[in-house]
């Protein structure tokens, strides 16, 4: 019982999600052979910077987003960037990417100055996303829902964001019922991943701090979106 306008919304979100991807020449850099912790950190920084640019373009295509208060648009992007990048990089681990990217990305993350205590929750998350075998539509909607989280820091008009998020949640709920009729709790499992994502935010903040203590440099875009330096 997905309505006509919900189908239109789904198409817009999916097209935006597929249109905005990391350029292949950037993604291919993952496969080059330098593997020092420094090299890996630089590569991951380039990936993250490119991914943030992709994320901004995707977000601008979410119906209603550009009509939100401008400062709230920034607050939503800053508040959701890390979570959206965990979702996106999770695709690489759930083998959406060409052979080889998965192992290489894992190897680079494991040797980039991130302390052991963050590796377990990070790779547990990647595994739990992989087990869901999400279709593209679900991944695109889940990313839009993550970005449209009303209670991010400094969001003024939370109700306006809530209304946009609710319409996305309604489409996702119906899509899950259609895609996984034999698994009525699938939609709830997807939402459970969003809760797990929030815990990763805290780990990520500590990862940033420890990188900075070892004098690692980020790009201007990442400094702006993560309020560092």
Ligand X SMILES: CC(C)c1onc(-c2c(Cl)cccc2Cl)c1COc1ccc(-c2ccc3c(C(=O)O)c[nH]c3c2)cc1
Residues 6+ apart with CB under 8 A from 163: 64
Shortest Å distance, C-beta 30 to ligand X? 6
Q: Which two tokens stand for residue 211?
A: 């990188």
Least distance CB 226 / ligand X (angstroms): 8
Q: Which residue in the set 27, 104, 142, 155 belongs to the binding site for ligand X (CB under 6 A)? A: 27
Rounded CA-CA distance 31/102 in Å is 10
Tell me which of 86, 93, 186, 187 binds ligand X, using CB under 6 A: 86
Whole-angstrom distance, CA of residue 120 vs CA of residue 165: 30
Q: Is the Cβ of residue 48 or residue 147 nearer to ligand X in the bound state?
A: 48
**Contact status, residue 203 vs residue 123, Cβ threshold 8 Å:** no
Can you tell me which of 97, 135, 177, 191 binds ligand X, judged by CB under 6 A? 97
* 222 near ligand X (CB under 6 A): yes
DSSP letter string, 190-228:
HHHHHHHHHHHHHHHHHHHHHHHHTT----HHHHHHTT-
**Which of the ranges 5-13, 37-45, 59-67, 163-171 carries the binding residues for ligand X, by CB under 6 A?**
37-45
Q: Which residue in the set 92, 129, 142, 172 belongs to the binding site for ligand X (CB under 6 A)?
A: 92
Closer residue to ligand X in complex, CB, 86/187:
86
The residue within the footprint of ligand X, chosen from 14, 47, 104, 155 (CB under 6 A), is 47
Among 89, 102, 146, 165, binds ligand X (CB under 6 A): 89
> Could you tell me the smallest distance in angstroms from the CB atom of residue 174 to ligand X?
26
The answer to whether residues 161 and 149 touch, using CB atoms and an 8 Å cutoff, is yes
164 is a site residue for ligand X (CB under 6 A): no
**The dihedral of CA 49, 103, 31, 21: what is its sign?**
negative
B/e letters for 79-96, b = 16+ CB within 10 Å, e = fewer, are: bbbbbbbbbbbbbbbbee
Q: Find, among 213, 226, 211, the residue nearest to 40 by Cα.
A: 211
Query: Does the protein bind ligand X through residue 88 (CB under 6 A)?
Result: yes
- Position 48 contacts ligand X (CB under 6 A): yes
Binding site for ligand X (CB under 6 A): 21-22, 27, 30, 41, 44-45, 47-48, 51, 82, 85-86, 88-89, 91-92, 97, 101, 105, 109, 218, 222
């Amino acid at each position: 019982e997905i309505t006509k306008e919900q189908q239109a919304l789904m198409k817009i979100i999916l097209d935006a999600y597929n249109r905005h991807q990391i350029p292949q020449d950037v993604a291919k850099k993952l496969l080059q052979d330098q593997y020092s912790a420094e090299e890996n950190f630089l590569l991951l920084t380039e990936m993250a910077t490119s991914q943030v640019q992709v994320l901004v373009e995707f977000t601008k295509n979410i119906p209603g987003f550009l009509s939100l208060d401008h400062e709230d648009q920034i607050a939503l992007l800053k508040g959701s960037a890390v979570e959206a990048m965990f979702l996106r990089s999770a695709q690489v681990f759930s083998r959406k990417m060409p052979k080889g990217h998965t192992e290489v990305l894992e190897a680079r993350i494991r040797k980039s100055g991130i302390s052991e205590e963050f590796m377990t929750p990070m790779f547990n998350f990647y595994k739990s996303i992989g087990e869901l075998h999400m279709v593209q539509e679900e991944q695109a909607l889940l990313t839009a829902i993550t970005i449209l989280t009303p209670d991010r820091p400094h969001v003024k008009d939370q109700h306006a964001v809530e209304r946009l998020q609710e319409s996305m949640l309604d489409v996702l709920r119906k899509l899950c019922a259609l895609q996984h009729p034999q698994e009525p709790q699938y939609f709830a499992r997807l939402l459970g991943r969003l809760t797990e994502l929030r815990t990763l935010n805290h780990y990520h903040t500590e990862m940033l701090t420890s990188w900075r203590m070892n004098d690692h440099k980020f790009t201007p875009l990442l400094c702006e979106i993560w309020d560092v330096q």
